[in-house]
Structure 1
Amino acid sequence: MALPQAEQSSRELLSIGQVLELLRDDFSDLTPSKLRFLEEQGLVTPSRTKSGYRKFAQSHVERLRMILELQREHYLPLKVIAEVLEEVDAGRDPVIPGAAPRSVSSILTPHRLLSGQELCRITGASNRFLGEAVAAGLMPAVEVFPREAAAQLTSLLHLAEQGITPQHLRALRVAAEREAELIAHAVASRGIKTSTPQGLEDSLELAAHLETVRSGVLRRRFGAA
C-alpha cells in the first residue's frame, strides 16, 4: 500500500508538537530532534510555513509510524528503510527485509482513537470549544474520536481566532450534507452502493472534484484567479 506524500490543505496540517502527541503513546522515546533527524535523512518531508515552521499532513504521520515501526520492531537501518519507502512510494507493498514473508502494510499500527480530553490536549482547544463544534455538527458526537479529528479541530480553532466560530459554520455543514446527498445519488444512479469499497472510492473522487470547483469559486471571489 502506498503512503503518498501529497500535501493536504493548510487547514488540515499538524504542527510538530501535535505529531508528537499522536505518536508518543506508541513511541515513547520520540522527540522533536529525532523527527528533525528523519527529515534531514530525507525519509519524511513536511511542508513549511512562510515563517519556517514544519507542518505535517496525515500521510506524513503514517509514514513516520511506518519508519519508527521498522526501526523498533525489525531493526532496519535507515538506508534500508529508505529503500523500503521507495517501494511504497512506487505503489508497491514490499516484503520487510530479513523478516518472514510479511509485507509492510501488515505492520502498520491500527489507527488509535482519541478521547475528548486527549483531543483537546493535542489541539489546545477547551472542552467548551469542542462542545460547540459538536453542537454545530462540525465534529462527531462520539465518546472517542479518530486521530484525523485533531486536524479538523485545529482548523476550527484557527477559524475561530479570525472570528469565524463554529456557530457561523452551521451553513457550511448543511451545504456539505447536501453535497453528500448529491454524490450518493450520482453513485447510486450507476448501480453502485455507497457502502461498498467501490462506492466509497467513487464518492471520495466526486468529493475531490467538488472541492476543486469550490476552491476555484472562492479564488475568483477574492481575485486570486
Structure 2
Amino acid sequence: MAAAQADQRAPGLLSIGQVLARLQVDFADLTPSKLRFLEEQGLVTPERTKSGYRKFSQEHIERLRLILTLQRDHYLPLKVIAELLDEMDAGRDPLIPGAASRSASSILAPKRVLSSDELRRATGASARFLGEAIAAGLLPAAEVFPHDAVAQLSALLKLAEQGITPRHLRALRVSAEREAELIAHAVSTRGLKSGTPAGTEGSLELAGHLETVRSGVLRRRFGGL
C-alpha cells in the first residue's frame, strides 16, 4: 500500500484524475476511457510507475490538448491527427488540413485565463492554500489567473509537502521584485543610449540571464557542477 501511494506521488507527474481536472475545463466530454483509448491508439504515451499507474507530464497534457482541439474544432479523424503528430515529433510544423495555412503548433498551450475554482480543480489546492499563496504575493490577487498559474501553484504545493510554505517564500517574491526593478532600469537605460524604445523582449532576455546565474549559484550550493 505504501509503495502504491509513493508511486501516485511521482514528482512532476499527474494522475489521470488530475489531467481530467485540467482538460475538462475546455473539453467537458473528456473521460478516463477516452484518455485510455487515445493511449491505445498510440497518440499519447504516459509514463508508468512501478505499480502500473499512468502518469502524465506537462508535455503529455499539451499533446492531449492538441489532439482534442484537432478533433473538436477541425473535425480531423485520428488517422490524420496521428500523421500530424508524427510530423511534429520529427521536428516539423505541419499545416492543419483545411485550416487556412494554420500550423498545428499554433494551437499548443493556448492563451487563456482560469477562475479560482478552475485553478484549484486543476491543482488540487484548497481555497485556504490558494489564499496563502496570494497573501504571500506569489500569485496575483485577482478574479482570474493566467494559465501558467497552474504550474506555479502546483510547484507551491510540492514545496509545501517538504515544509516550504508560501509564507516562507515572501523573501523570494521580494527578491524577484527587486530583480524586476533592476531589469527595468537596465533596459530603460540601454534604450535611452541607443535611441530605441525599451521593450518586453529585452526585459525577458535579461530575466533569462539572471535565471541562469541564479541556477548556477544554487547548483554550486548543493554540490552540483
Q: TM tier, shorter chain?
A: 0.7 to 0.9
- In the aligned structure 1, how far is the partner of 2:154 from the partner of 2:42? 27
Which of structures 1 and 2 has the larger relative contact order (alpha carbons within 8 angstroms, sep 6+)? Answer: 1
Aligned with 1:207: secondary structure? Answer: helix
CA shift in 2, pair 1:28/1:121, >3 Å: closer
Q: Is 1:206 the counterpart of 2:209 in the alignment? A: no
Name structure 2 gaps, 5 residues minimum.
1-9
Distance (Å, rounded) in 1 between the aligned partners of 2:92 and 2:185: 31
Give the total of aligned pairs. Answer: 209
Bigger Cα Rg: 2
Sequence identity percentage: 69
Question: TM-score under structure 1 normalisation?
Answer: 0.74
Q: Counterpart of 1:101 in structure 2: which amino acid?
A: A
Aligned to 2:158, the other structure's residue is in SS state helix
Provide the C-alpha distance between the structure 1 equivalents of 2:32 and 2:92, rounded to a whole number of angstroms.
29
Does 2:32 align with 1:61? no
The answer for the alignment partner of 1:6 in structure 2 is none
Between the aligned partners of 1:77 and 1:37, the Cα distance in structure 2 is: 14
Question: Corresponding residue for 2:123?
Answer: 123
User: Which residue does 1:164 correspond to in 2?
Assistant: 164
Partner in structure 2 of residue 101 of structure 1: 100
Deviation at 1:42, TM superposition (A): 5.2
Q: Identify if the C-alpha distance between structure 1 residues 42 and 180 changes in structure 2 by more than 3 Å, giving closer, same or farther.
A: farther
User: Which segments of 5 or more consecutive residues in structure 1 lack a partner in the other structure?
Assistant: 1-9
Equivalences for residues 144-163 of structure 1 within 5 A: 144-163=144-163
Aligned AA for 2:149?
Answer: A
User: C-alpha displacement at 1:55, in angstroms?
Assistant: 3.7
Q: Report if aligned partners of 1:22, 1:147 keep a CA contact under 8 Å in 2.
A: no
- Give TM-score scaled by structure 2 length: 0.74
Deviation at 1:49, TM superposition (A): 7.3
